[in-house]
Structure 1
Amino acid sequence: MRIVDFLDKGASLNREAPCLTTDGESMSYADVVALSNSVASALVAHGVAPGDKVGILSANDPTSFTCIFGISRAGAVWCPINPRNEAAENQQLLDQFDCSVLIYQASFAPLVAKIRPALTKVHTWVCLDDDDDRALSLAEFLSAGTGSAPDARAGDDLAMIAGTGGTTGTPKGVMLTGTNLETMSAITLMAYPFVGRPIYLALAPLTHAAGVLCFPIMCLGGEIVIMRKPDVGDFLTHLERHQVTHTFLPPTLLYMVLTNAALDSTDRSALQCFWYGAAPMSPARLTEALSRIGPVMAQLFGQTEAPMMVSTMAPADHFNDDGSVATQRLSSAGRPSPLVTLAIMDTKGNQLPRGERGEIVVRSSLVTPGYYLNPTATAEASEFGWHHTGDIGFLDDDGYLFIVDRAKDMIITGGFNVYSVEVEQALLAHPDVQDCAVIGRPDEKWGERVEAVVQPRAGHTVDPDAVTVFVKERIGSVKTPKVVHVWPDLPRSKVGKVVKPDVKAQLAQSG
């Protein structure tokens, strides 16, 4: 399936049903199909051929999201550009991906003006929602079309190119095919509860996980409620007003929901599935979520190279057969998905038995064919015939996957391997801690020492000594941070993940 086929499938079920809803106004499936046809026709009129790359620089917005389907209908390749990136990074990505068209919101016109001189491959500039003297308005862009929509396909099935987060160095372009997205959508529909016509609330950026999760929703003719800004209070209001059945939040935002006073009075009765993922979640906070939000929490684990669904944990898997919370697996990432083969591998390519720790590797039609114009990185990621995730983990006797760290984040102190995720989970269990980061710093005696930076919960004060005692009682002295720093907030990536290199750099500057 192409990306546009998900839209057309939903339209085949009910063309007049609401498809995209924002600020109280809805576009029906017929509306979205019609606009996507116009965008596709206009792209062809402006010289876009199947396989050409089209960038979109926009915050959450129904018109820009509809453009994705027009790009697909023209057989072109969608390149989501994160508006939170610095100008230099977006310039690099647009050039690296060979984008020939850039569609953007007027609020990003200053950024576009800054990078435009260097983007010699871009021949068409479209400003969606206002006048920009150096770009076509949406109406001017669409007027070039013939009105007849093409029905084209990229010859290599390429659907989108997504930039890696950039927290590990120079961003790479992950190629995702229609087959990759079809597999992801199939796993979603197989692994999680869907009863009736779904209503999906998208608060997180549509350039990332929140966007691709729309595709399986559309397969069922569901409604997608788009929030323009990530406001937790508005999120709860939308949850009740629209009787939302499905939604997704990364743990950082989910923690904010749990601290919001309006949560307990919000009608959550329609919820079937509240996905969480993109970073490890504290079992203590997850237990709280199961109690206060309801038995609807659903984990997903994946990465840009294998989107979303490497492993899954449905709401029912959070509970034992007797109905009690399955605390023994709340820190897991669920079980390998139905269409994914997963193994734990050592550095020599040997598969390890249950219980032993090594790199998580996968084989699946979910996995990217590689990095755009980067055969070296592609070969490294597919060594021994498996996709290497860069995550360290193990499988327990019941087949649940436990992720213990990113390979690059493991700390070796006094000859012992300390996995930062394990220490972070212990810290997050403390009632005064909202979020944290654990890193290794050079130490003359131990080689590396474990240090932590913690962010207090709103209205709470963190006592470093008390936190140290708390962690030591749970995981022992070797893994306990030698130093606990208290910061009002942590440096984060554009999708809300804590950026550990920035934490290290700030600590190095402070001595």
Structure 2
Amino acid sequence: MRIIDFFDRGAAIAPDREALVSAGHSLTYTEARTLTCRIAAALVARAGGDPAAVGTVAVWSPNHALAFACLLGGVRAGGVWAPINARGHADDNIDFLDTADCRTLFIHSSFAGYLPRIRETVPTLEDVICIDGPLDGVLSLDDLLNQAEGLPVPDLRPDPNRLAALFPTGGTTGRSKAVRLTEGVWTALIAITHAAMPPADRPVYLVAAPMTHAAGAMAFPALAAGARVVIIERADPLEVMEAIDREKVTDLFLPPTVIYGMLGHPRLRDFDYGSLRHFIYAASPMAPDKLAEAIRVFGPVMAQTYGQAEAPMLCTFLSPAEHAAAAADPALVHRLASCGRPTLLTRVEIMDDDGNVLPRGERGEIVVRGDLVMAGYHKRPEATAEVSQFGWHHTGDVGWMDADGFVYIVDRKKDMIITGGFNVYSAEVENVIQGHAAVQNCVVIGVPDPKWGEAVTAVVEPVPGAEVTAEELIALCRSKLGPVKTPKSVLFEEALPRSPVGKILKRAVRDRFWSGRDRLV
């Protein structure tokens, strides 16, 4: 199957239903399909009539229905989708356009000021199309559509090995790599999603986080079910809560940081969440105490997925039923700290540094095999080989698996703290601190210390208006974790640094303490 085949399935079963909805714009499935066909026909014509020559197609726009339609038109043409985050730093976005060998760029007029730098930096760029109207020196979307008049619509044969997308790895520690995701990877992602979370009869999926990341990826399974995909510009807690109530949302994805913001919002209880079936979260585990609170507020709908750009979204899954059972049974409550069990088309194991698969209960690196795994990094064979040792994809995450097959992430491999000769996994400490009612978010890092080598340190973002002391949090950790894992100090910040998709940048916090030193551990 091709990505576009899944959208066409939605169009076949719900032709008159709204497919893509955003502020001031709405497209039915029939209208959206017609639009994507015209975009695809014009792109192929501009590539000399050869779909194989369409190359990489990027969309640089805020969350919007037309922007999503443009990316669908690009993949229908046989193009390779390169997501560009509208909230990302311009330098990073332009750099990734170059890394991905972008040939065609759909751009919103609000980013037109970057075009001179884009053209200077990206030698492969041939076409720039303005999504939202005329722009000097740039082809408009209407102009492109007019060029499609009378042209045949491309209909490529399915090929599971054909490159469908190049996803950025994030770039928080250097230049972002481009992850090669094939049609086969997307087919697996959509099939696993439907197996894990069967859609409602008339699903409504909310895109609030950037559509260029997990929120957008999860829209494809929704579209395959004929879902009404409602797109809002940003994941503001109040706007999300209003949209769930107003649009009768059945499914959505958010990172934990936004969910924490919702749980701490004074208007949390003002809205009706009864339509929800799957409230998906990923990017990092949620603190078990706050997860239990979310279940009480939103109902038995919380669903955790685990993956990364190289093996997207659904390597493991913790279902709503498993969440609810764990929250209700003291003997199972520990499972709220799990990211679930391996999904239908994925094998997950725990491995040591020598390539040995470890027994249940032992800690090591989480490794993955299966149809979700990427086809490597674009033009980076050495990096591909490094993460593919011993025939497995190496996630860089440290974890363990219990006797029932539930996977627990304890840290990023590089974020382990060694203090006084003992290993401390920061996620364990973060989960304890995050469970305090006055804590909105926190990161735990190792900072240079002449005695301990690294001193366990917590940097805390309090709930607005709440009060908590360092002594109180240190005492909490000591009672739960013992002296070795207890932070030596607790610092407070009004807001922790976040990536454009809302993920807390632990590395940025850590770098403040290690900058200018010869060693980093």
TM-score of the aligned structures, taking structure 2 as reference length? 0.95
Deviation at 1:332, TM superposition (A): 0.4
- Alpha carbons of structure 1 residues 271 and 81: separation in structure 2 relative to 1, 3 Å: same
Cα separation, 2, equivalents of 1:226 and 1:443: 47
Q: 1:344-375, CA deviations, whole angstroms, 9 ceiling, x for partnerless residues?
A: 00000001000000000011011001001111
Tell me which residue corresponds to 1:304.
309
User: Match for 2:143 among 120, 128, 140?
Assistant: 140
| 1:223 correspondence with 2:228 | yes
Which position in structure 1 is the counterpart of 2:409? 403
2:326 and 2:336 in contact (8 A); partners too: no
Does 1:269 pair with 2:274?
yes
- Match for residue 50 of structure 1? 52
Q: How far does the alpha carbon of each residue in 1:98-155 deviate from its partner, in whole angstroms, 9 at most, with x for none? A: 1111111011111233332222210111111133213111112222224431113586
Q: Say which of 150, 155, 178 aligns to 1:151.
A: 155
Q: 1: CA distance between counterparts of 2:234 and 2:509?
A: 26
Q: Which residue of 2 aligns with 1:101?
A: 104
8 Å contact 1:157–1:177 — kept in the other structure? Answer: yes
Range with bigger deviation, 427-436 or 111-120: 111-120
The aligned residue for residue 278 of structure 1 is: 283
Provide the secondary structure at the position in 2 that maps to 1:166. Answer: coil
Deviations 1:462-492 (A, max 9, x none): 3112111111111111111111110101111
Distance 1:406 1:207, change over 3 A: same
Question: 1:388-417: per-residue Cα shift (whole Å, max 9, x none)?
Answer: 111000001111000000000001111111
Q: Does 1:342 align with 2:348?
A: yes
Give the residue type in structure 1 aligned to 2:12.
S
Question: Runs of 5+ in structure 1 lacking a partner?
Answer: none
Aligned-residue sequence identity (percent) comes to 45
Contact in 2 for aligned 1:75/1:153 (Cα 8 Å): no
Residue 25 of structure 1 and its aligned partner are, at CA, apart by 4.6
Q: SS at 2:460's partner residue?
A: strand
The answer for the alignment partner of 1:40 in structure 2 is: 40
Q: Does 1:503 align with 2:509?
A: yes
State the Cα deviation string for residues 16-62 of structure 1 (Å, max 9, x = none): 11111122653110011011011101111222732611111111111
State the partner residue of 2:265. 260
Q: Does 1:250 align with 2:255?
A: yes
Q: CA offsets per residue over residues 254-308 of structure 1, 9 Å max, x none? A: 0111122332231111111111111121111101001111111111111011110
> Is 1:31–2:31 an aligned residue pair?
yes
Which structure 2 residues correspond to residues 76-115 of structure 1 after superposition, within 5 A? 76-115=79-118
Structure-2 residue corresponding to 1:327: 333
Counterparts of 1:13 and 1:139, CA distance in 2: 28
For 1:23 and 1:321, the matched residues in 2 are separated by 39
Residue pair 2:417, 2:426 contacting (<8 A) in 1 also: yes
Equivalent AA in structure 1 for residue 310 of structure 2:
E
Contact 2:327/2:333, CA 8 A, preserved across alignment: no
Matched-pair contact (CA < 8 Å) for 2:25–2:65: no
Number of aligned residue pairs:
511
Match of 1:10 in 2: 10
Give the counterpart letter for 2:11 in structure 1.
Answer: A
The Cα RMSD (Å) is 1.8
Q: Secondary structure in 1 aligned to 2:269?
A: coil
276-285 or 402-411, larger mean C-alpha shift = 276-285
Question: Is 1:412 aligned to residue 418 of structure 2?
Answer: yes
- Cα separation, 2, equivalents of 1:323 and 1:123: 57
> Do the aligned residues in 2 keep the contact of 1:404 with 1:422 (CA within 8 Å)?
yes
**1:72 corresponds to:** 75
- Alignment correspondent of 1:429: 435
Distance 2:341 2:267 in 1: 33
Match of 1:289 among 286, 289, 294: 294
Listed one character per residue, the Cα deviations across residues 80-109 of structure 1 (whole Å, up to 9, x for unaligned) are 111222222222211111111111101111
Residue 509 of structure 1 and its aligned partner are, at CA, apart by: 6.9
Amino acid of the structure 1 residue aligned with 2:127: T
CA contact (8 A) 2:101 2:124 kept: yes
- 2:127 is equivalent to residue 127 of structure 1: no
Whole-Å Cα distance in 2 between the matches of residues 233 and 141 of structure 1?
37
The SS at the match of 1:207 is: coil
| 1:310 CA displacement | 0.4
Distance 2:158 2:133 in 1: 31
- Aligned residue among 344, 349, 358 for 1:352: 358
Letter in 1 for 2:478: K
Asked whether the equivalents of residues 87 and 114 of structure 1 are also in contact (C-alpha less than 8 Å), the reply is no
Q: Which amino acid aligns with 1:63?
A: L
TM-score normalized with structure 1 length: 0.96
- Cα offset for 1:231? 2.2
1:474 to 480, 494, 511: 480
CA contact (8 A) 2:260 2:440 kept: yes
CA contact (8 A) 1:50 1:152 kept: no
Give the stretch that moved more between structures: 500-509 or 53-62.
500-509
Confirm whether residue 387 of structure 1 aligns to residue 393 of structure 2. Answer: yes
Which residue pairs with 2:489 in the alignment? Answer: 483
The letter of the residue matching 1:339 is: L
Name the CA distance, whole Å, in 2 between partners of 1:94 and 1:6: 26
The residue that corresponds to 1:443 in the other structure is: 449
Question: Which residue is 2:371 aligned to?
Answer: 365
| Corresponding residue SS for 2:241 | helix
CA distance 1:87–1:357, shift in 2 (3 Å): same
Contact 1:75 1:154 in 2 (8 A): no
CA distance in 2, matches of 1:494, 1:25: 24
Secondary structure of 1:408 counterpart = helix
SS class of match (2:357): coil
Question: Residues 152 and 418 from structure 1, CA distance in 2 versus in 1: closer, same or farther, beyond 3 angstroms?
Answer: same
| SS in structure 1 of the partner of residue 52 of structure 2 | coil
SS, match of residue 486 in structure 2: coil
